[in-house]
Chains A and B, each alone.
Chain A
Amino acid sequence: MRFFRELGEIAILAGQTLRGLFRRPWERRIFIRQLEEIGALTLPVVALTAAFGGLVFALQTYVGFHRYVGHGSEAYGGPIISLGLTKELIPILVGVMVAGRVGSSMAAEIGTMRITEQVDALVTLGADPVRYLVVPRAAAAVLMLPCLTLFGDFIGILAGLFYNVILKGVNATVYLRNTLLYLQIWDVTSGLIKAAVFGGIIALVGCSQGLRAEGGAEGVGRATTKAVVIQSISILIANFFLSEFLPGSLGG
């Protein structure tokens, strides 16, 4: 029952955020700060996770080809690694990393504002809390997650290439030709669309948990933990449905 009530509240917040997106005044300063917070400051974490995600994925693909298809077939792993990374692994890794780094701080910051009456002060000073707090964060997250994912794709594919070509001596020309031949632009695009959806989920869940925080420091802590858990689970569930229903799921 509580789950459905919270889901309903997030849906209402999503509606208010969409409406607020097209109304003035636009909180440009907060939007730019969030772009920096979600984008630039998350780049190192994304680079690291994408690199090791790409490496481990390349390792298992190499082992699979080597064991089940035979020696010399490993170069065919290139498109599989790239497809898996761009469509699934990188968007999820970026989503979970941003949820942990930024989504939690959204809940903590807004939660603290709520319990110290700063959200109430916004109302008395003529600002709509949703337009002031949620809209710039949601817009920045929807915009930056695809950018981070594209960056992560590049790093991940490069890491796969490094593992196969440099560490395992796979033929670079064959590996690259196969990758470029079979990886379609839609594979990358669908991953970016997923990332944008994850961005919306992270911002809406983080802000909604913050706005509902009550009961002092303990309440803010609870809201923060809950936000990360809900964000991470929602990203995994949404990923399945997006993979299933976005065009091209069968490689078309």
Chain B
Amino acid sequence: MINFVGVSKSFGPKKVLAGLDLEVRTGETLAIFGQSGSGKSVLLKLLVGILPLDRGEIVVDGTEVTRLRGEERRAMSSKFGMLFQGAALFDSLSVGENIAFGLERHTDLSPEDVRQVVAESLARVGLQGIERLMPHQLSGGMKKRVGLARAIAYRPEIVLYDEPSTGIDPIRADAINGLILVLKREMGVTSVVITHDMVSAYKVADRIALLYEGRIVALGTPDEVRNSPNGIVQQFIHGRAEGPIASW
């Protein structure tokens, strides 16, 4: 279980998160949606220790994670797999080396086993036999799938998806959604999906949360969110410029 308690984060004078509280249950897929720049990605980066927290705490399975350092931090990071918005594949490494990267650091597998797991992970995302390709030889959708294979290769308990359907066509985006559902079913992972694509959110999420002005203002099942009387929620899911949320 992941618990965000009173989480605050500012960048200079700009307050991004303002005392946010949120609970992610073990085994569920929680989609967080909100405006661009509302702090959705920041939330994930605070969770995995990429950004330091200003105030509050983040507890993962009983351990407060934001103050972990060194070996403890590295051990905690093996619980997480993260798919970045642009996939963030290492340019200088081949597809196979990219996927092996986390395996070599988070597991004690032999080089032969690493090769096998790399092949299995690629097969899981439908991209067999491309270990030797370099990231610049891949399309946007392939990059996302390789990024996903890299994130799940070492079998993390929690998978974090930062805008998984952004930058790819609707058909490939739906394929990624399908993969999120398959991974949940087959690996039993807890997932947090950052998105502003409501179609994706309805498809993959057990619960959906709306982040607005640094706090969670709505939280519920896809049906509850869809039928919410909250004007902010309705404006967002229907993509209307007019409403309680200022358009700029």
Q: Is the CB of A116 within 8 A of B77?
A: no
B33 interface residue (CB < 8 Å to A) = no
Q: Is the CB of A126 within 8 A of B48?
A: no
Residue interface bits B102-127, CB-to-A below 8 A is 1, else 0: 10011000000000000000000000
Residue interface bits B78-92, CB-to-A below 8 A is 1, else 0: 101110111011110
Interface residues of B in 26-62 (CB under 8 A from A): 45, 48-50
B149 to chain A, nearest CB (A): 13
CA distance A128 to B74 in the complex (A): 9
CA distance A127 to B88 in the complex (A): 14
Interface residues of B in 114-171 (CB under 8 A from A): 150-151
B101 interface residue (CB < 8 Å to A) = yes
Most buried by B among A118, A120, A121: A121
Instruction: Please give, as numbers and ranges, the residues of chain B lying within 8 Å of A123 by CB-CB distance.
Output: 48-50, 77
Size bracket of the B interface: 20 to 34
CA distance A120 to B48 in the complex (A): 9
Residue interface bits A112-129, CB-to-B below 8 A is 1, else 0: 110011101101111110
A44 to chain B, nearest CB (A): 23
Tell whether A120 pairs with B106 under 8 Å between CB atoms, given A125-B101, A125-B150, A127-B101: no
Q: Is the CB of B77 within 8 A of A120?
A: no
CB within 8 Å of A: which residues of B? Answer: 45, 48-50, 74, 77-78, 80-82, 84-86, 88-91, 101-102, 105-106, 150-151
CA distance A120 to B160 in the complex (A): 13
Interface residues of A in 102-158 (CB under 8 A from B): 112-113, 116-118, 120-121, 123-128
Tell whether A126 pairs with B84 under 8 Å between CB atoms, given A118-B90, A120-B50, A121-B90: no
Instruction: Please give, as numbers and ranges, the residues of chain A lying within 8 Å of B49 by CB-CB distance.
Output: 123
Instruction: Please give, as numbers and ranges, the residues of chain A lying within 8 Å of B45 by CB-CB distance.
Output: 120
Interface residues of A in 81-121 (CB under 8 A from B): 112-113, 116-118, 120-121
Q: Is the CB of B105 within 8 A of A127?
A: yes
Tell whether A126 pairs with B74 under 8 Å between CB atoms, given A120-B45, A120-B50: yes
Instruction: Please give, as numbers and ranges, the residues of chain A lying within 8 Å of B48 by CB-CB distance.
Output: 123-124
Instruction: Please give, as numbers and ranges, the residues of chain B lying within 8 Å of A128 by CB-CB distance.
Output: 74
A109 to chain B, nearest CB (A): 8
Instruction: Please give, as numbers and ranges, the residues of chain B lying within 8 Å of A121 by CB-CB distance.
Output: 82, 84, 88-90
CA distance A112 to B49 in the complex (A): 21
Task: Pick from B50, B80, B86: contact of A116, CB below 8 A.
Answer: B86
Most buried by B among A112, A123, A124, A128: A124
**9 tightest CB-CB pairs across the interface, nearest first?**
A126-B105, A125-B102, A117-B88, A121-B88, A124-B82, A117-B84, A120-B50, A126-B106, A118-B88
CA distance A16 to B74 in the complex (A): 16
Q: Is the CB of A124 within 8 A of B81?
A: yes
Nearest-neighbor residue (CB-CB) of A120 within chain B: B50
A–B Cβ pairs within 8 angstroms, 23 of them = A112-B91, A116-B88, A117-B86, A118-B88, A118-B89, A120-B45, A120-B50, A120-B88, A121-B89, A121-B90, A124-B50, A124-B77, A124-B81, A124-B82, A124-B102, A125-B77, A125-B106, A125-B150, A126-B78, A126-B102, A126-B106, A127-B101, A128-B74
Residue interface bits A13-29, CB-to-B below 8 A is 1, else 0: 00000000000010000
Nearest-neighbor residue (CB-CB) of B103 within chain A: A125
Nearest-neighbor residue (CB-CB) of B82 within chain A: A124
Seed contacts A117-B85, A126-B78; 12 additional CB < 8 Å A-B pairs: A113-B91, A116-B86, A118-B88, A118-B90, A121-B82, A121-B84, A121-B89, A123-B49, A124-B48, A124-B80, A124-B81, A125-B77
Instruction: Please give, as numbers and ranges, the residues of chain B lying within 8 Å of A25 by CB-CB distance.
Output: 105
A236 to chain B, nearest CB (A): 32
Instruction: Please give, as numbers and ranges, the residues of chain A lying within 8 Å of B50 by CB-CB distance.
Output: 120, 123-124
Instruction: Please give, as numbers and ranges, the residues of chain A lying within 8 Å of B102 by CB-CB distance.
Output: 124-126
CA distance A113 to B86 in the complex (A): 12
Instruction: Please give, as numbers and ranges, the residues of chain B lying within 8 Å of A125 by CB-CB distance.
Output: 77, 101-102, 105-106, 150
Most buried by A among B85, B102, B106: B102
Instruction: Please give, as numbers and ranges, the residues of chain B lying within 8 Å of A126 by CB-CB distance.
Output: 74, 77-78, 102, 105-106
Instruction: Please give, as numbers and ranges, the residues of chain B lying within 8 Å of A120 by CB-CB distance.
Output: 45, 50, 84, 88
Nearest-neighbor residue (CB-CB) of A128 within chain B: B74
